[in-house]
Chain A
Amino acid sequence: MSGRVLVGVKRVIDYAVKIRVKPDRTGVVTDGVKHSMNPFCEIAVEEAVKLKEKKLVKEVVAVSCGPQQVQETIRTALAMGADRGIHVEVSGKDYETLGPLQVSKIFAALAKKEQADLIILGKQAIDDDCNQTGQMTAALLDWPQGTFASEVSFEADKLKVVREIDGGLETIKINLPAVVTADLRLNTPRYATLPNIMKAKKKKIANVKPADLGVDVCSRLEVLKVDEPPQRQAGVKVETVEDLVGKLKEAGRV
């Protein structure tokens, strides 16, 4: 057991920004727009750092795939307490079409290379909302997965994960090595302290190319067009419950 945790951190458009679709409808405007770490990735980093503080794991490695700018995101993870970073360089068209399948292949390759015992990812990214990377990574590695985790603990040599599911909470015990994806209530991410921001500067970020890991980042998907969601239409007020049921039947909803 290496005691090493890989944490994926994705650079996304900041949650507070008003998203605008590009005039050519090929995507959203990203130039000059504020970006930050995906909130679920923050929760993942926080959990990994907490495990290290409890001495349940030895090393936290923050990984991000993308162009030069993702180094900021890795540095934020380092400032939160990760020990070192890995920047997987993907840029240009490859970055635009980068999706869960390619990222999970990259993570699987890195997990083998770094001999990781645990991978913690956010459950989904707030830009594509795919909710696939964790699951695909586990499948590629043939590792057990504990997704939508709201609680993670070690029990002997197994991992106990409490999962948030539609019906409530499900508790599972899985063998290590494993993949865990973080849900909202797993923890409250810390603000980086000033001393840790300074220490982050000295921590190493290694550069790696997907080809070095034997991964082909070519996408099988083609985005045809991107549109704004339909404008919200005015609603209709009704007087009685019968009217409401009548209207719903009219609209074919009941």
Chain B
Amino acid sequence: MAALFKARRALGMVVGHGVRCLSQLAELPELHQMMRQTCRDYAQKELAPIAAQLDKDHKFPAKQVKELGAMGVMAVEVPESLGGAGMDYLAYCLAVEELSRGCASTGVIVSVNNSLYLGPILKFGTEEQKKQWITPFTTGDKVGCFALSEPGNGSDAGAASTLAQQEGDEWVLNGTKAWITNCWDASATVVFATTDKSLKHKGISAFLVPMPHPGLSLGKKEDKLGIRASSTANIILEDCRIPLGNMLGERGMGFKIAMQTLDSGRLGIAAQALGIAQAALDCAADYAHKRTAFGAPIGKLQAIQFKLADMALATESARLLTWRAAMLRDAKKPFTKEAAMAKLAASEAATFVSHQAIQVLGGMGYVTDMPAERHYRDARITEIYEGTSEIQRLVIANNILKEYQQ
């Protein structure tokens, strides 16, 4: 009897909350629709026309980042009191997708600033730290970055070899961080370093370091396959001294901060991948109408139709996973498994869709006259950063096995 009541109550809560979630999956609330349209308009008018040139020149879109800052997009989840837009994570995912549809590099610049830099400070920072390290980074004038990976470890984040030693009233950081997005354009970074090697991953702590700063130097800008308008390089720390107050969270909390930050960050990347996939689909579908072969537009051919259907299916499925994970996070429910699923689905969709888009365009897909080749190059990294597809599969599997715990 008691079990029946418990079950009914649980069902009621799921249904009550589930109805709101389900209707949002079917159609976004008006607020989110307006916000999505604004970002779409901005991306179409201000990003898409310059994306090819930004990619060619490896140029950071400083003007656009400032404009996006003024719109509130560089700090979507940050409360208004700290200078942000005070919106939810679903809104943030919509924004990143629409912006990435115009320019994938701009999408990742926005995503890294929001999820990887502002995210952990918002969650784990003291009030003082928030004022100092968040507010100036909401306007688009300054962007931040996230330094976890090292030349010796990417997926193996617990093996961090960057050291942090306390010397009086300072922390002294020594080591090298690798593959840091935004770093050549950033004014601050969240750095992960070991304060206690013997504790292994429980000995890692997080620190806030301004940029530029004595003892912090940048490696050469990587010459990447895609997302070339965003800078990626090593961060080299040599006797880099920061005040004790620059530790983020508690000593030894670093790994936990990193993992929780990446949980959310991967939704930002999922959104970026969705934008790239959508842009590639736009390109292919448009071409299918215009290009004629065998006496008719190629869109009339089943081979092309099947491709477009599969491309749209992959994109829409990944989109719904992303929205659901974002809504779970907004509802403060566990979302780790769903976020991993979203990132995996979206990144694999991006590479699949952009690959097929080139196929639909034929020879035209291989040249820079059409954006298809850029989408193909931009998509590839989404399966790697912020947790490789292999890591995502491990996260999903671990969660499933836990659910079925004997």
Instruction: Enumerate chain A interface residues (CB-CB to B < 8 A).
Output: 72, 75-76, 79, 191-195, 197-198, 200-201
Q: Count residues of B near A (Cβ-Cβ below 8 Å).
A: 19
B41: chain A residues within 8 A (beta carbon): 191
The 7 closest A-B pairs by CB, nearest first: A194-B72, A194-B85, A193-B71, A193-B72, A197-B34, A192-B38, A197-B35
A191 with B38: CB separation less than 8 A: yes
Most chain B beta-carbon contacts within 10 A, residue among A72, A79, A191, A195: A191
Q: Is there a chain A Cβ closer than 8 Å to B147's Cβ? A: no
B87 with A198: CB separation less than 8 A: yes
Q: Is there a chain A Cβ closer than 8 Å to B30's Cβ? A: yes
B67 with A191: CB separation less than 8 A: yes
In the complex, how many angstroms separate the beta carbon of A195 from the nearest chain B beta carbon? 5
Among residues of B, the one whose C-beta sits closest to the C-beta of A196 is: B72
B85: chain A residues within 8 A (beta carbon): 193-195, 198
Instruction: Enumerate chain B interface residues (CB-CB to A < 8 A).
Output: 30-31, 34-35, 38, 41-42, 67, 70-73, 76, 80, 85-87, 91, 95
Question: Roughly how many angstroms separate A201 CA and B70 CA in the complex, as a whole number?
Answer: 19
Picked from B34, B76, B86, the residue with its CB within 8 Å of the CB of A75 is B34
Among residues of B, the one whose C-beta sits closest to the C-beta of A16 is: B44
A194 with B35: CB separation less than 8 A: yes
B86 with A192: CB separation less than 8 A: no
Given A193-B72, A194-B35, A201-B30, 6 more A-B residue pairs with CB atoms under 8 Å apart are: A75-B30, A79-B34, A193-B85, A194-B87, A194-B95, A197-B35
Number of A-B contacts (CB under 8 A): 43
B71 with A191: CB separation less than 8 A: yes
B70 with A192: CB separation less than 8 A: no
A193: chain B residues within 8 A (beta carbon): 70-72, 85
A–B Cβ pairs within 8 angstroms, 17 of them = A75-B30, A75-B34, A79-B38, A191-B67, A191-B71, A192-B34, A192-B38, A193-B70, A194-B73, A194-B87, A194-B95, A195-B86, A197-B34, A198-B31, A198-B87, A200-B34, A201-B31
Question: Roughly how many angstroms separate A75 CA and B85 CA in the complex, as a whole number?
Answer: 18
Question: Roughly how many angstroms separate A19 CA and B42 CA in the complex, as a whole number?
Answer: 23
Question: Roughly how many angstroms separate A190 CA and B86 CA in the complex, as a whole number?
Answer: 20
Question: Roughly how many angstroms separate A200 CA and B87 CA in the complex, as a whole number?
Answer: 14
Question: Roughly how many angstroms separate A195 CA and B79 CA in the complex, as a whole number?
Answer: 10
B67: chain A residues within 8 A (beta carbon): 191
Question: Roughly how many angstroms separate A42 CA and B128 CA in the complex, as a whole number?
Answer: 41
A75: chain B residues within 8 A (beta carbon): 30, 34
Question: Roughly how many angstroms separate A195 CA and B35 CA in the complex, as a whole number?
Answer: 10
Question: Roughly how many angstroms separate A79 CA and B71 CA in the complex, as a whole number?
Answer: 11
B71: chain A residues within 8 A (beta carbon): 191-194
Among residues of B, the one whose C-beta sits closest to the C-beta of A192 is: B38
A72: chain B residues within 8 A (beta carbon): 34
Question: Roughly how many angstroms separate A198 CA and B87 CA in the complex, as a whole number?
Answer: 8
Question: Roughly how many angstroms separate A227 CA and B360 CA in the complex, as a whole number?
Answer: 35
Question: Roughly how many angstroms separate A193 CA and B34 CA in the complex, as a whole number?
Answer: 11
A79: chain B residues within 8 A (beta carbon): 34, 38
Among residues of B, the one whose C-beta sits closest to the C-beta of A200 is: B34
In the complex, how many angstroms separate the beta carbon of A19 from the nearest chain B beta carbon? 16
Question: Roughly how many angstroms separate A197 CA and B73 CA in the complex, as a whole number?
Answer: 12
Among residues of A, the one whose C-beta sits closest to the C-beta of B87 is: A194
B86 with A197: CB separation less than 8 A: no
Question: Roughly how many angstroms separate A198 CA and B77 CA in the complex, as a whole number?
Answer: 13
Among residues of A, the one whose C-beta sits closest to the C-beta of B92 is: A194
Most chain B beta-carbon contacts within 10 A, residue among A193, A200, A201: A193
B42 with A76: CB separation less than 8 A: no
In the complex, how many angstroms separate the beta carbon of B348 from the nearest chain A beta carbon? 30
A194 with B30: CB separation less than 8 A: no
Among residues of B, the one whose C-beta sits closest to the C-beta of A201 is: B31
Picked from B30, B42, B72, B95, the residue with its CB within 8 Å of the CB of A195 is B72
In the complex, how many angstroms separate the beta carbon of A196 from the nearest chain B beta carbon? 8
A198: chain B residues within 8 A (beta carbon): 31, 85-87
In the complex, how many angstroms separate the beta carbon of A20 from the nearest chain B beta carbon? 14
Among residues of A, the one whose C-beta sits closest to the C-beta of B44 is: A16
Question: Roughly how many angstroms separate A197 CA and B80 CA in the complex, as a whole number?
Answer: 13
